[in-house]
Amino acid sequence: MCIWNLTNCHRVDIVITILPQREQDAGSQCVISMNANSTSICDPKNPGHVKTFTFDLAYWSHSGFLKDEDGRLVSTGSNSRYAGQREIFRDLGQGVLDSAWQGYNATLLAYGQTGSGKSYSMIGCGANRGIIPIVCEELFKAIHNQEQNKQYQVTFSMLEIYNEQVIDLLSKTKKRGGLKVREDHQQGFYVDGLKQVPCDSYAQIERLMEQGTKIRTTASTSMNVTSSRSHMVITIQFKQIFLDEEITKQSVINLVDLAGSERQKSSGSEGDRLREGTHVNLSLAMLGNVISALAEMAVGKKVLHIPYRDSVLTKLLQSALGGNSKTIMIAAISPADMCYEETLSTLRYAERYSFVVFHCFSLSLPPEELQYLLVENERHIQTIRVTWESQLEEARKEWEQQYAAITQERRMMETFPYLLNINEDPQLSGVLKHFIQDGASDVGQSASNAIVLKGLGIMDKQATFTNTDGKVTITPWDKSMVIVNGVPVTVKTKLQHLDRIILGSNTAYLYIGPPAERTNKDLLRYDYDFFQSELAAADGFSIDKLGAVSSKDGKPDPSVLAVFHDYIKLMPLVAEANQMSEELNKDLKFELKVKNLASSDSRGYDLQKEIIVKVMHKITKQVWVWSKAKFINRKFLMEELYQHFLDGEDMHVEQDNDPFWDPVEVIHLGSAHIWLQSLAYCMKLEEQTELLNFEGQEEAVVLINVVPCSSDGRAFEEDDVVIDPLELLGRQIDFQIHIVQCLGVRWLRDVSDRGIQIGYRIYDLPRPVYTKPVWKNVNPKIEERTHFSALTVSHDFLNYLQKNALIVDLWGLQGISLQCIFFICGCFLWLQDAPNQMSKLYTKLLKLEQETELLRDINRALREENIFLKEQLKKWDTGHHERTHQLCHYRTSYDSDFAKALKVFYQNMNVLRGQFLKLKHSKPPVEDNLQMLRLFTERQSCMLKDFGEQLESSICKLKNDVALIVKKKRESIAYSKH
C-alpha cells in the first residue's frame, strides 16, 4: 500500500525589477531584453556581445506601469509587458499554496544583488504586497472556506541568519551566540528553541511579521549590521487533520529572502590579505556549492558528497534542495548597464540551478506495519488537538496584549511628535517610533532614559528632547554627536516637522512634528540616501565639486554621478569605522577621498574618478590608502571584532588578522606633467613645475631638465636643433632626464622623519624609473640623471614625444623605500647614474651603433666629394662657385634662425600649458562666503588675462620672426639672381 507519493519539482524564474533611483540618476541604460521565457543581456562595453538564458518564466517590471489611486503599480494597458505583484503570485505563489494543500513541502528562494528587488518581490512595499503576505492571506481565505469536519493548524516562525548565527525574530530576548541548529533522525535539521507561534488568522501573521521586522531593525541598529548581508527565513507549518478519517497531512512552506549576492570584486577584498568576513557571505557560497554538486549529479557525474552541512542556511534548506519539496528560485536582476557584471553573475547562478533534477520515490509498507501506524496516528491526533488548543489560547492572550500596544501606539501618533527610524534597507525604514511626550525626554543607551537607543556612538546620555506647548527642542549632551539636517549641533536647537536627525555615528530618524504641524508631504522622499546626500552637501561635497560636465542632453556625466553615489553610500560606513576605532582604542582615523579628482593622463585627459579611503594613525601619523573594496571588506571584519567587544569576549587577535592593522606602505602624493614636445626638435627643456595631488592641491615643486644629447652624454647645442621632427626617423636619439630638486614638500613638512622618492615612466618601458630615497628634508636635492636611448626612432615614438607628457610621480616614504631596477626593453633603453653601471648587452649595442654611425659619416664624406668632383667636371667658373657657396651659407643661416624661433615658441608654449592646467584644476572656495568668491573670481580673471596676453605675444613673436626670415631669404634670392 502506498503511504506517500511525492512528486517533487523545481523551477527558476527571473524577475527584472524597476531601475533603482541610484541607477536612474547615474544615467544608466537598460541592457536586458526579454522574449517569452528567455532573457538576454548585452555587454555595454561590447554591444555586439549578447548572452541569452532560458528559464521557466521571465517577468518584466522595468517599465510599462503606472500607480493607481490605491498606490498599486499596475500595467498601462494591453500592450504593456509589465508584470505586477499579483501576476507573480498567480504563477508562483499559487503553486506554493497548491503544494501545501496536497501535503507537500514548498520552498521559495529569492536570489540577487542588493537593490535588485528581492525583498520587494518577497515582502513588497506599501500597497504593493509581495508573495509572502499574499500567500499567508490566501491560505487563511482557503481555510475559512473548507468543510467543518477538518481542523487546520498554522504555525509561524521568522528567523535571520547573519554571520552564521541564527536570530529568532519573534523572541524579545536575544540569546548570546544565536540559536543552535541540531539534527533529528526524523525531522532532519531544525533550530533548537525557535519560537513557533500558532495562528488562526492572517491578521495575526501580519502582526507577527511587523514584530519580527521591528526586532530585525533594532538588532541591525545595535549590532551595526546591514540587512543586505543577512538571510531572512519565514517558515509556515501547515497541518490538515481529517477528523472523520483520523489522518493528517503536514507540509512546511519555507520563504527565504537571501542576502545580497555581490561578487568578491565589488564588495570583497580585491587582493587584500583578509578574505571578506569569515562568515559574512559563507552561506551564499555554500549554497552555490550544493547547487553545483546537484547539477553535476543531474548530468550523470559521480558526486561523492553534497556539502549541506557546511553552512547554517544549507542545513535548514536540505529538505528543499535535496528532493522532498517543490522548490522555486526567483532570481531578481537589475537592468542597469552599471550592474552588468552582477546581473550576468546572477543569471549564470540561476542557470546552474535550473540544471538540478530531483529524483523522488514512493514509499510502500506491508499491511501489518500500516495498521500499527494508523493506531499510532490516531493517538497522535488526539494529542495534537489538545496541545494545539492550549497553544492557541496562549497565542490569543499575546495577540490581545499586542493589539492593545498597537492601539496605544496609534493613539500616541495622533497626539505626540515622534521620531521615525530611517534605514538603508527600505523594508526596515519607518518601523520604529519613539514618542516625545510633554516635558524633557532623555535619549541614550542607559535604561533610565525615556528613549533607550543602542548603536555606534550612542552614549549613556546622548541628548534631551524637550516638548513644551507643542514646541520641541533637542539639546546634545557633552561630547555627543547630534546632527540636524546635515549640520552638527552643540546647543539647544528647535525642531521643525520633517527635520532629519542623526544620533551617534549613523542612527537616523525623521522628526514627525505635532499633528498641527503635519502636512500631506510625501515622506518617502526622505530616504536613507537623502540623509547622506544632505550630510555630504553640508560637508562641502557635491556633484559640482566632482566636475560634472553636462552632455548634449543636459544631464551630468553618468560616471561622475556613480562616484557621488558611491561616496554617500560609504559615508556612514566611514563614520562607523571611526567610532569602532575609537571605542577599541585603535587610534585610526578614516577619511573619504576622491581619487583623480583633478588628475589627468599623459595626454591631458581627465582620469576616471573613484572613491578611496585615507587611513591615518593618530599617534604615529602613518598613512594608508585603501580602495573602496578593501575598506568594505575590512569594515565587515571590524564589525566581527566589535561584536566580540560588545559581548565581553576576548578581543585578542594576531596582528596579521587585525582588520585595523596594515604594514607600512608607500603613498602616492602627487604628479606633475612635463610635456615632451621640445624633445622632438632636439631642444633642451628646463621646468619648474608643481606636483599636484589628486585633489589639485600643491604637494611640492620639482625642478627637472630634459636634455637631448649625444650617445656619450654631451648636451646638444643650438646648431643641433632640427626643424622637422621627421628628420629623426630611423636615427638614434639620446636624451637625459635630470631631476634636480624638490621644493616645499608638504609630506615632509607635516612629519619630519618621513622620506620621498620620485618616479616616472617613459614611452614603452614596462617599469617606472625611481630616484634614490631622500629623508627628513623639506627641500631635498635629488641630482639624478638618467640616460635614455631610442636606437631607431619610429613614427610612434615621434607621435609620443609631440602629444604626450612625462608624468613625474612623487611618493611618500614611511620607513621603507622603493628599489631602482635596471633593465633593457626592446629598442628603447635607459641607464641610471654612471656609465660603469651599463649592462653588457647595452654596451655591445652601443658599440655597434657607434661603428655604424662612423660608417655613415664616411659614406657622407664620399658622397659630398663625389658631388664636388661632378661640379668640377662641369667647369663652373670660380665666381659662380663663390656665389653658390655664399647662397648655401645664407640657407644654413636661415635654417638656424628658424630653429631658434621655434625653440623660443615651444618654450613659451610649455609655460602656457602649465598655466592652462593650473586654471583647469583651480576650484572655487567651498565656504559660502561672498568675499572669498569675489577674490577667487578676480584671481581667475587676472590669470586668464595673463594667459591670453602671453599666448598672443608668443604667436605674434613667432609671426614676426618668420616674416623677418622670409624677408631675408627673398632678398638673398634676389641678390643671387642679380
Contacts for 737 with CB less than 8 Å, ≥ 6 apart: 704, 705, 706, 760, 762, 769, 785, 786, 788, 806
119 is in an annotated binding site: yes
| Cα gap 766→358, rounded to integer Å | 54
- Angle value at C-alpha 38, between 32 and 42, nearest 5 degrees: 30
| Cα gap 816→810, rounded to integer Å | 15
Asked if residues 434 and 451 have their Cβ atoms less than 8 Å apart, the reply is yes
Give the mean pLDDT of the chain: 80
Asked if residues 135 and 97 have their Cβ atoms less than 8 Å apart, the reply is yes
Burial 716-751 (b: 16+ CB within 10 A, else e): beeeebbeebeebeeebbbbbbbbbbbeebbbbeee
819 is in an annotated binding site: no
Estimate the share of the chain in helix, then strand, then coil, as percent rounded to the nearest 5. 40, 25, 35
Radius of gyration of the chain, Cα coordinates, nearest whole angstrom: 38
Question: In the predicted model, what is the mean pLDDT of residues 315-328?
Answer: 80
DSSP letter (8 states) at residue 545: G
Cell of 331: 532570481
For every residue of 424-462, which 3-state class applies, written as one string? CCHHHCCCCEEECCCEEEEEECCCCCCEECCCCCCCCCC
The pLDDT value recorded for residue 514 is 92
Categorize the per-residue pLDDT at 834 as very low, low, confident or very high, splitting at 50, 70 and 90.
very low
Question: In the predicted model, what is the mean pLDDT of residues 329-336?
Answer: 86
Asked if residues 260 and 113 have their Cβ atoms less than 8 Å apart, the reply is yes
DSSP letter (8 states) at residue 791: S
Q: How many CB atoms lie within 10 A of CB 273?
A: 10
172 is in an annotated binding site: no
CATH architecture of 10-354: 3-Layer(aba) Sandwich (3.40)
The tens digit of pLDDT for each residue in 577-595 reads 999 999 999 999 999 999 8
Higher-pLDDT residue of 952 and 207 is 207
Contacts for 848 with CB less than 8 Å, ≥ 6 apart: none
381 by Cβ neighbours in 10 Å (0-12 / 13-18 / 19+) ranks as: middle
DSSP letter (8 states) at residue 93: I
Cell of 675: 610635456
486 is in an annotated binding site: no
The tens digit of pLDDT for each residue in 257-279 reads 988 877 644 444 455 655 544 45
78 is in an annotated binding site: no
Categorize the per-residue pLDDT at 956 as very low, low, confident or very high, splitting at 50, 70 and 90.
confident
Q: What are phi and psi of 844, to 5 degrees?
A: -65, -45
Categorize the per-residue pLDDT at 188 as very low, low, confident or very high, splitting at 50, 70 and 90.
confident
Asked if residues 625 and 667 have their Cβ atoms less than 8 Å apart, the reply is yes
141 is in an annotated binding site: no
Contacts for 625 with CB less than 8 Å, ≥ 6 apart: 593, 612, 613, 614, 615, 665, 667, 668
Q: Is the pLDDT of residue 247 over 50?
A: yes
Cell of 884: 653658390
Q: Is the pLDDT of residue 222 over 90?
A: no
The tens digit of pLDDT for each residue in 148-161 reads 778 889 999 999 99
| Cα gap 403→208, rounded to integer Å | 11
Q: Is the pLDDT of residue 230 over 90?
A: no
pTM metric for this prediction: 0.75
The pLDDT value recorded for residue 306 is 86
DSSP letter (8 states) at residue 716: P
329 by Cβ neighbours in 10 Å (0-12 / 13-18 / 19+) ranks as: buried
854 by Cβ neighbours in 10 Å (0-12 / 13-18 / 19+) ranks as: exposed
Question: In the predicted model, what is the mean pLDDT of residues 654-665?
Answer: 89
Of 7-16, 458-467, 870-879, 926-935, which one has max mean pLDDT?
A: 458-467
The tens digit of pLDDT for each residue in 337-363 reads 878 888 888 888 888 777 665 544 444
Question: In the predicted model, what is the mean pLDDT of residues 414-438?
Answer: 90
The tens digit of pLDDT for each residue in 888-897 reads 444 545 666 7
The pLDDT value recorded for residue 386 is 56
The pLDDT value recorded for residue 379 is 55
604 is in an annotated binding site: no
Question: What three-state secondary structure class fits 400?
Answer: helix
Cell of 854: 662612423
Closest CA to 820 of 770, 756, 760: 770
Categorize the per-residue pLDDT at 836 as very low, low, confident or very high, splitting at 50, 70 and 90.
very low
Asked if residues 40 and 52 have their Cβ atoms less than 8 Å apart, the reply is yes
67 is in an annotated binding site: no
Contacts for 719 with CB less than 8 Å, ≥ 6 apart: 896
| Cα gap 535→54, rounded to integer Å | 44
| Cα gap 521→530, rounded to integer Å | 15
Where exactly are the structural domains of the chain?
10-354, 418-539, 544-657, 665-827, 840-859+908-977
For every residue of 143-199, which 3-state class applies, written as one string? HHCCCCCEEEEEEEEEEEEECCEEEECCCCCCCCCCECEEEECCCEEEECCCCCEEE
CATH architecture of 418-539: Sandwich (2.60)
- Give the CATH fold of the 665-827 domain: Immunoglobulin-like (2.60.40)
